[in-house]
Amino acid sequence: MQKLILRNLQSPGDTVMLTALVRDLHALHPRRFATDVRTPSPELWENNPYVTRIDESDTDARVIDCEYPLIHSSNTCGQHFVHGFHEHASRQLQVPLAPTRLHGDIHMSAAEMAERPPCLDAIDGEPFWLLVAGGKFDFTAKWWPTTYYQAVVDGLADRVTFVQVGSLDHFHPRIRNAVDLRGRLSLRELIRIV
Q: Domains in the chain: how many in total?
A: 2
pLDDT tens digit sequence for 114-139: 888 777 777 766 788 999 999 888 87
**Of 93, 124, 147, which residue constitutes the final position of a domain?**
93
| 89 and 120, same domain (yes or no) | no
| 125 and 173, same domain (yes or no) | yes
Instruction: Supply the pTM of this predicted model.
Output: 0.87
Assigned domain for 108 exists:
no
Arithmetic mean of pLDDT, 99-123: 87
Helix 82-93 crosses helix 12-28 at what angle (to 10 degrees)?
50
| 84 and 6, same domain (yes or no) | yes
Of residues 60, 68, 48, 49, the one with CA closest to residue 8: 68
Cα within 13 Å of Cα(85), Cβ side: 26
| 83 and 128, same domain (yes or no) | no
Q: What percent of the chain has pLDDT over 70?
A: 97
Classify burial at 172, counting beta carbons within 10 Å of its beta carbon; exposed 0-12, middle 13-18, buried 19 or more.
buried
Average pLDDT, the chain: 90
| 8 and 81, same domain (yes or no) | yes
Which residues are CB-contacts of 59 (< 8 A; sequence separation ≥ 6)? none
**Of 38, 61, 93, which residue constitutes the final position of a domain?**
93
Residues forming beta bridges with residue 71, ordered by sequence position? none
| 89 and 119, same domain (yes or no) | no
Predicted pLDDT of residue 76:
74
Assigned domain for 105 exists:
no
pLDDT tens digit sequence for 14-47: 999 999 999 999 999 999 999 999 999 999 999 9
| 80 and 158, same domain (yes or no) | no
Residue 70 has pLDDT above 90, yes or no: no
Assigned domain for 101 exists:
no
Assigned domain for 103 exists:
no
Of residues 158, 165, 156, the one with CA closest to residue 190: 165
CA distance 144 to 172: 11
Assigned domain for 104 exists:
no
| 86 and 120, same domain (yes or no) | no
Residue numbers of the domain that contains 50 = 2-93
CA distance 37 to 29: 17
Assigned domain for 134 exists:
yes
Predicted pLDDT of residue 72:
66
Assigned domain for 14 exists:
yes
Which residues are CB-contacts of 113 (< 8 A; sequence separation ≥ 6)? none
Residue 113 has pLDDT above 90, yes or no: no
**Of 93, 127, 150, which residue constitutes the final position of a domain?**
93
Strand ranges for 1-42 from DSSP E: 2-7, 33-38
| 14 and 49, same domain (yes or no) | yes
| 126 and 81, same domain (yes or no) | no
Predicted pLDDT of residue 142:
80
| 65 and 125, same domain (yes or no) | no
| 79 and 14, same domain (yes or no) | yes
Predicted pLDDT of residue 141:
78
CB 194 within 8 A of CB 181: no
Assigned domain for 181 exists:
yes
Instruction: Output DSSP code: residue 10.
Output: S
Q: How far is CA 126 from CA 133, 151, 159, 181, in A?
A: 20, 21, 10, 15
Classify burial at 40, counting beta carbons within 10 Å of its beta carbon; exposed 0-12, middle 13-18, buried 19 or more.
middle
